[in-house]
Structure 1
Amino acid sequence: MAISIDKGLGIHPQALLAREARASVIASNLANADTPGYKAKDINFQDALNAVSKRSGYSLSRTHSKHFELNLEARPRELFRSPHQPDTGDGNTVEVEVERNLYMRNAMEYQASLRFLTDRIQGMQKALSGGR
């Protein structure tokens, strides 16, 4: 019986990629907190997960049948966040406290996905080695 590594790992590798993309967007918001006119952005995690799960994007041609296929994933669509506070006059909609909280939550969820993935890999290693 053939073992599918993708099925064995589940959704966790895609979740890590989606969390990484969201961390990048939130970090960009924090970096531009003092930039006049900058609008805070975010990505919808479910949309990001769907984007990396589909592995949409450009597919590189293989020169040999035993070469691995490589797909370059498209980045999830960024959305503008609605601010909770009124405009301060410079047009910037980044709320540092909100961004920090979102970044920390995303980091914790990234760590959880990483732990789930690690547990899956350890389980597969155990199964392959006969439980030793």
Structure 2
Amino acid sequence: MKLFSGTINQLERGLSYSAIKQKVIADNVANVDTPGYKSKDVNFKTVLQDEMKMTSSKSQSSDPRHFALDLAEGSVKIQKRNFSYRENGNGVDMDREMANLATNQIYHDALIERISGKFGSLNTVIRGGQ
């Protein structure tokens, strides 16, 4: 018998993706003045498509409509953007990075709020509605 629904697992995977995205953005910001550095990005759409291709060939879930997404850091493809904004070859656009950082923060906060609600509901059930 499963104690937790699949929702908590999906929220956990979303938090893993958000953490990886945060690391990539932090690397980009840290290298804003590094000559020749090309910015990196994690694209969820690309990750999802790659995972769907892999799972379609080796589907071993309880239901054929389920996708087993593994968002461990080694499985996520971090893409380099091959363009430069400065004469030294640096490809970091700080405005874009700050916008990505804000977007990722909102996404992360929404996931945290949702998972907190799930655990709050479980806590209420455990205490018998009190």
TM-score normalised over the length of structure 2: 0.74
Identity of aligned residues (%): 24
Give the structure 2 partner of residue 81 of structure 1: 81
Give the structure 1 partner of residue 3 of structure 2: 4
User: CA–CA distance in 1 between the matches of 2:92 and 2:7?
Assistant: 40
Q: Partner amino acid for 1:37?
A: G
Unpaired runs of 5+ residues, structure 1, are 57-71
Give the structure 1 partner of residue 40 of structure 2: 41
Give the structure 2 partner of residue 99 of structure 1: 97
Unpaired runs of 5+ residues, structure 2, are 52-67
Give the structure 1 partner of residue 121 of structure 2: 123
* Residues 8 and 38 of structure 1, relative CA distance in 2, 3 Å threshold: closer
User: CA–CA distance in 2 between the matches of 1:42 and 1:5?
Assistant: 32
* Residues 15 and 3 of structure 1, relative CA distance in 2, 3 Å threshold: same
Instruction: Check conservation: 1:22, 1:42, Cα contact below 8 A.
Output: yes
Listed as ranges, the matches of 1:5-44 within 5 Å are 5-7=4-6, 9-44=8-43
Q: CA deviation at 1:30?
A: 0.4
> Which one has the bigger strand percentage?
1
Instruction: Check conservation: 2:37, 2:92, Cα contact below 8 A.
Output: yes
> Which one has the bigger helix percentage?
2
Give the structure 1 partner of residue 54 of structure 2: none
User: CA–CA distance in 2 between the matches of 1:16 and 1:93?
Assistant: 27
Instruction: Check conservation: 2:85, 2:93, Cα contact below 8 A.
Output: no
* Residues 55 and 128 of structure 1, relative CA distance in 2, 3 Å threshold: same
Q: Partner amino acid for 1:18?
A: Y
Give the structure 1 partner of residue 69 of structure 2: 54
